[in-house]
Chain A
Amino acid sequence: MPIQITADLRENIRNFEELFSDCADIKKRNIKVGKNLQEECYIAYIEVALSSVDWKDSAVGKFLGKLRSLPEEELAAYVRDNVEDISDSQPFLTIEDAAQAMLTGDVLFFLNGYNKALKIPDKGYPSRGVYETESEKVIRGSNEGFSESVKLNTALIRKRLRSPHVKVKESFAGRRTHTNVDLVYMKDLIHPGMLEEIEKRLGEFEIDGTLDSGIIEQLTEKRKYSPFPQFQTTQRPDRAAMAILEGRIVLLSDNSPVALILPATYNTYIQTSDDYYSRWEIASFTRALRYLASFMAMVFPGLYLAMTNFHTQIVPTALLLSLAAARQGVPFPAMVEVILMEIAFELLREAGVRLPGANGNTIGIVGGLIIGQAAVDANIVSPIVVIVVALTALCSFAVPNEEFATAFRILKFMFIFLCGSLGLFGFLTGLLVVLIHLSHLESFGIPYLAPFVGADLNGYQDERDTFLRLPLNFLKKRPVYTREGARTKLKFNQQKEKQKK
């Protein structure tokens, strides 16, 4: 049963402090206000969330300063009439609601004779501010990245999309964490049903806490056993804004610099922001390269095994001889050799990620150069396998989305096993399994392989932005996930004039 806030300040303080007993980080202060300092008020806040109660500096300080200039009998009326609805301040009727508001990082204000608690925004929780993204680097374009504050992140999107059609729907996830989850979308562009679907999925679970968007991602995915992610992730506000302009929905979770974008397709994972900032020739070239990289990251070691162990007739004799010479003296079968090197590489990658920046680089050098060279010198692996593993790693790094690239890294081991035991038949079988799986996979009703499949749904327009990114003047339509009737994104004024004539 929620405890109602009354006009009796003593009672409110007692109830509030009972709720927050043994919370050393919560600061509670009784302050005298009114012209003669005869009336009492009470403020509570999280220690670091308030900049200063000094009159000059903070909103709270200025507010208290104003209250000290008013006669005691007018204080409650002043707060009710002038402060309640101004800016971000918000009144609450129960102690629990008020406490929850304070836990979002704001200051809570109680006044004797005033039967509500007022939330006054101030500095809020400490956050990193806007920093450059660690991943998803671009050659051209903004370098701003999302931070851990959901409010800051929505503002970064709003900064790029200054339209009243951009809506931010707020909800909370986590029974104990009350994590703020915002859905950002363009009202007139999203497909009907998409918003309801994500809201339905968000309402389908109740969890203790969501400390990162990754938890929400996993709980709202439909195909939980698929290695492929069904949400696109980004740390770039410009990527998120671009997605919103395509009629997609961006999910931001407090305390997470990673935004989730829905729906997602194979094609969207391969696209990067600067694909659209650079000229179409180079954008198309790098796009095609990334597609190739995503495929090779999965199959390259397997294909090497199939060709050298089963189908040597494909390889030219000279190359075959040099491959055989390189393997001379290696005690392991080729499959074991490849698996050993792949595991060693994955270990290096994991160690590099966990270690601090400078040490991480050292691991790369020690692992890549010294251990690799030593392994070849000791005849544990052949130099060709080192090249194959290194090229595979390069391919996986070229995939712009980490979660998406991880799927290929995992599937790589399936291909190593299949090709190592069944040769090209294993390769074809593995390819078919992946293809069937991807064909069945959907993200919020959109086929994962769109627009390579179902391209007719949008008049074959989406195919212009796949392997190749055609010049921007060809990309006049938004993708298929945009609401029908709102798919035109580019018009030329000359055309308009011609139409008028």
Chain B
Amino acid sequence: MFADNWKISLRQIKRLFILDIFGISSLILPGIFSTLTGADGMLCLILGTVGGIVLLWLIGANLKYMETDYYNYIKDTAGQLLGDVIMVFYFLYFVTLCGFVLNQATMLVLTWLLPDGSWLGVCILLILLAVYGSMRGIEGRARVYEIIFWFLGIPLLIMLFLAVQEVDTARWTPIVSSGGAQILGGTLAVLIFTLPLTALLFLKPFCTKPQQLASCGRRALFTVMVLNALIYLILVGVFGQNTMGILKRPIITLMGMVNLPGGFFTRQDVLMTAVWFFALFALMNTGIFQGTLILKQLCQQCKGSWTLWITAVLSFFIAKGFFEYNFLTEVFEIYQSHVALPGMFLILLILLFLHWVKEGKTAKQGGNH
């Protein structure tokens, strides 16, 4: 009948990506900007968005030539071996991302919701939840985010609106005072947070209108970046750059400072943590889902939910690594900026180039005949 067709709508996809990108970027980006660029974070956001649009253009261009799914497209364009290598690259990206976000979500819970809790207990509970969320495929996942989108969005917008009155606009200056290297660093950071958009490449078989996937990604990117810009301006305006630099998660601290009219609730930061809890969970879920999907394609003999469990267990151990060894976070940052980011662009460019070459050859052969 209607459901169970493994297809999701563009609205669902858009909301999925908004939550995916917004959660982690709004938590981490303000801290990065305050240490790197100060008020020029806005410039980084704009430049990062432009970079994101380029990425989405590459995604869209490749999607146009994709006949069935991404894996088959890569194999047809670059051959079986290179195809498998590229898929392993994507698998590693999504699994490490999932592990990183899992650790972030666990730390968020332990910092704001359950200070006396055990890291292991919370982490296991979260990963089990993510497995449960991914078990019945993409339709169920998309529906969850379609529902929670406004439940999270409306309180967040209200809180941001209420926080505006605390903003001191003098703190927005000076602008264009950072060096080129810092601005480039901030821009790359923004760009790194747009990388989950590459999951769009894998969604073609699941989308009701696949030809609009890239534009749907663009809408999600714009929404997130507008929200991030708004949050950043408010944060700088309220805390100033120096204070923001020493805060662990400035956006959640801000939520605790907003005075609600009526004064019934005195500290909303705990309640508002829910927004980031759900958003981080969304990204974690995306990581698990994409990882499972890629593993299933790479290992077609794996039946049942083995691939899901393998991805989940791997993500758990990666998260544990991040928790126990601080240097791994630095390694992850280097991996993201030096391997994942250029890798994503390069793969899409190479695939596009190879496809054009192949198409040119075919056209030439057709002409000769």
Contacts and interface: CB of A to CB of B under 8 A. Distances in A.
Interface string B265-302: 11110110110011001000000000000000000000
A465 interface: no
Interface stretch (A2-10, A148-156, A280-288, A438-446): A438-446
A480 B2 contact: yes
A449 interface: yes
Nearest to B144: A439
Interface stretch (A87-95, A338-346, A451-459): A451-459
Interface residues of B, number: 41
B266 A313 contact: yes
Interface string B1-34: 1111000011110000000000000000000000
Interface in A254-311: 310-311
Given A314-B267, A444-B1, A446-B1, A433 B132 contact: yes
B7 to A, nearest CB: 10
A455 to B, nearest CB: 8
A164 B114 CA distance: 63
B283 to A, nearest CB: 14
A425 B129 contact: no
Interface string B109-148: 1000110010000100100010011011001111110111
B264 interface: yes
Contact of B140 (A191, A436, A457): A436
Contact of B129 (A424, A432, A440, A447): A432
A315 B271 CA distance: 11
B147 A435 contact: yes
A442 B3 contact: yes
Contacts of A444: 1
A23 to B, nearest CB: 46
A445 B3 contact: yes
Interface string A418-441: 000011110011001101100110
B285 to A, nearest CB: 9
B263 interface: yes
Contact of A453 (B12, B109, B113, B278): B12
Nearest to B281: A432
B114 A457 contact: no
Contacts of A425: 109, 113-114, 117, 122
Contacts of A446: 1-3
Residue among A425, A429, A455 facing the most chain B CB atoms (10 A cut-off): A425
A442 B270 CA distance: 33
Interface in B67-113: 109, 113
Contacts of A447: 2-3, 139, 143
Contacts, number: 104
A311 B10 CA distance: 38
B274 A428 contact: yes
Contacts of B264: 316
Contacts of B274: 424, 428
Interface centre among B113, B136, B141 (most CB of A within 10 A): B113
Contacts of B136: 440
A422 B266 contact: no
Nearest to B268: A314
Contacts of A454: 2-3, 9, 12, 143, 146
A193 interface: yes
B338 to A, nearest CB: 35
Interface in A375-430: 422-425, 428-429
B278 to A, nearest CB: 7
Contacts of B273: 424
B9 A429 contact: no
A194 interface: yes
Interface in A52-67: none
A439 B3 contact: no
Contacts of B129: 429, 432-433, 436
A17 interface: no
Given A423-B113, A442-B4, A457-B2, A316 B266 contact: yes
Contacts of A314: 265-268, 270-271
Tell which of A313, A439, A447 has the most Cβ of chain B within 10 Å: A439
Contact of B147 (A422, A429, A445, A449): A449
Interface of A: 191, 193-194, 197, 310-311, 313-317, 422-425, 428-429, 432-433, 435-436, 439-440, 442, 444-447, 449, 452-457, 480
